[in-house]
Structure 1
Amino acid sequence: MILFDKRILTHFDFIQPFLVLPIIILSHVLVSEANQILAMKQYVYFSIGFLVFIVFFLFPIRKIDWLIPFIYWINIFLLISVDLFGVSKLGAQRWLEIPFVHFTIQPSEIMKPAFILMLGYLIKQTPPPQNGYGVKDFAKISFYILLPFVLILKEPDLGSALILLLSGYAVLFIIGVNKKIWLTLFILIGTASPVLYENLHDYQKKRIIDFISEEPSYHVKQSIIAIGNGGMSGKPRDEATQTHFKFLPISTSDFIFAYNSERFGFVGNLFLMGIYALLIIHLLTLNYKLKGDYLARVVTTGLASLIFIYASVNISMTIGFAPVVGVPLPFFSYGGSSFITFMCFFGILQNLLTFRFDKEYNLIKFKF
Structure 2
Amino acid sequence: MIRLDRRILTHFDFFQIFLIVPIIAFSYILISEANEILASKQSVYFGIGFACFCLFFLLPIRRILWFIPALYWINIVLLLSVEFFGISKLGAKRWLDIPFVHFTLQPSEIMKPAFLLMLAYLIKKNPPGEDGYSLKQFLHLSFYILLPFFLIAKEPDLGTALILLLVGYAVLFVIGVNKKIWISIALAIGICAPILYENLHDYQKKRIHDFLSEKPSYHVRQSIIAIGNGGLKGKSRDEATQTHFKFLPIATSDFIFAYTSERFGFYGAVGLLCFYGALIIHLLSLNYILKNDYFAQVMTTGIATMIFIYVGVNISMTIGFAPVVGVPLPFFSYGGSSFVTFMVLFGMLQNLLTFRYDFAGKFLKIQR
CA–CA distance in 1 between the matches of 2:2 and 2:85?
49
SS at 1:291 equivalent: coil
Give the structure 1 partner of residue 67 of structure 2.
67
| AA in 2 matched with 1:48 | I
Q: Does 1:202 align with 2:240?
A: no
SS at 1:130 equivalent: coil
Identity of aligned residues (%): 71
CA contact (8 A) 1:313 1:322 kept: yes
CA contact (8 A) 1:227 1:259 kept: yes
Q: Does 1:266 align with 2:275?
A: no
Give the structure 2 partner of residue 139 of structure 1.
139
| AA in 2 matched with 1:365 | K
Aligned pairs for 1:306-325 within 5 A: 306-325=306-325
TM-score normalised by structure 1 residue count:
0.99
What whole-Å deviation, never above 9, does each CA across 1:97-152 have from its counterpart, x for those lacking one? 10111200100000000000100000000101111111000000000000000000
Q: After alignment, is 163-172 or 354-363 more displaced? A: 354-363
Aligned pairs for 1:100-249 within 5 A: 100-249=100-249
Give the structure 1 partner of residue 287 of structure 2.
287
Give the structure 2 partner of residue 25 of structure 1.
25
CA–CA distance in 2 between the matches of 1:310 and 1:88?
24
Q: CA deviation at 1:3?
A: 1.8
CA–CA distance in 1 between the matches of 2:2 and 2:132?
48
What whole-Å deviation, never above 9, does each CA across 1:189-234 have from its counterpart, x for those lacking one? 0100000000000000000000000000000000000000000010
CA–CA distance in 1 between the matches of 2:2 and 2:205?
61
CA–CA distance in 1 between the matches of 2:299 and 2:321?
29
What whole-Å deviation, never above 9, does each CA across 1:139-193 have from its counterpart, x for those lacking one? 0000000000000000000000000000000000111111100000000001000
SS at 2:180 equivalent: helix
| AA in 2 matched with 1:243 | T
Q: Does 1:11 align with 2:17?
A: no
Equivalent residues, number: 368
Aligned pairs for 1:70-85 within 5 A: 70-85=70-85
Give the structure 1 partner of residue 334 of structure 2.
334
CA–CA distance in 2 between the matches of 1:130 and 1:302?
22
SS at 1:29 equivalent: helix
What whole-Å deviation, never above 9, does each CA across 1:20-40 have from its counterpart, x for those lacking one? 001000000000000000000
SS at 1:96 equivalent: strand
CA–CA distance in 2 between the matches of 1:3 and 1:153?
48
CA–CA distance in 2 between the matches of 1:141 and 1:148?
12
CA–CA distance in 2 between the matches of 1:322 and 1:342?
23
CA–CA distance in 2 between the matches of 1:276 and 1:108?
24
Give the structure 2 partner of residue 37 of structure 1.
37
TM-score normalised by structure 2 residue count:
0.99
| AA in 1 matched with 2:332 | F
CA–CA distance in 2 between the matches of 1:361 and 1:332?
35
Q: CA deviation at 1:93?
A: 0.2
Aligned pairs for 1:339-350 within 5 A: 339-350=339-350
| AA in 2 matched with 1:186 | A
Give the structure 2 partner of residue 53 of structure 1.
53
| AA in 2 matched with 1:143 | F
CA contact (8 A) 1:75 1:110 kept: yes
SS at 1:19 equivalent: helix
CA–CA distance in 1 between the matches of 2:126 and 2:362?
29
Runs of 4+ residues over 2 Å off in structure 1: none
What whole-Å deviation, never above 9, does each CA across 1:16-59 have from its counterpart, x for those lacking one? 01000010000000000000000001110000000000000000
CA contact (8 A) 1:220 1:320 kept: yes
Q: CA deviation at 1:359?
A: 5.4
Q: CA deviation at 1:361?
A: 3.5
CA–CA distance in 2 between the matches of 1:361 and 1:342?
25
SS at 2:127 equivalent: coil
Q: Does 1:302 align with 2:302?
A: yes
Which stretches in structure 2 are left out of the alignment for 5+ residues?
Answer: none
CA–CA distance in 1 between the matches of 2:257 and 2:249?
12
SS at 1:94 equivalent: strand
Q: After alignment, is 357-366 or 195-204 more displaced? A: 357-366
CA contact (8 A) 1:63 1:359 kept: no
Q: CA deviation at 1:367?
A: 1.1
Give the structure 2 partner of residue 355 of structure 1.
355
Q: CA deviation at 1:360?
A: 3.7
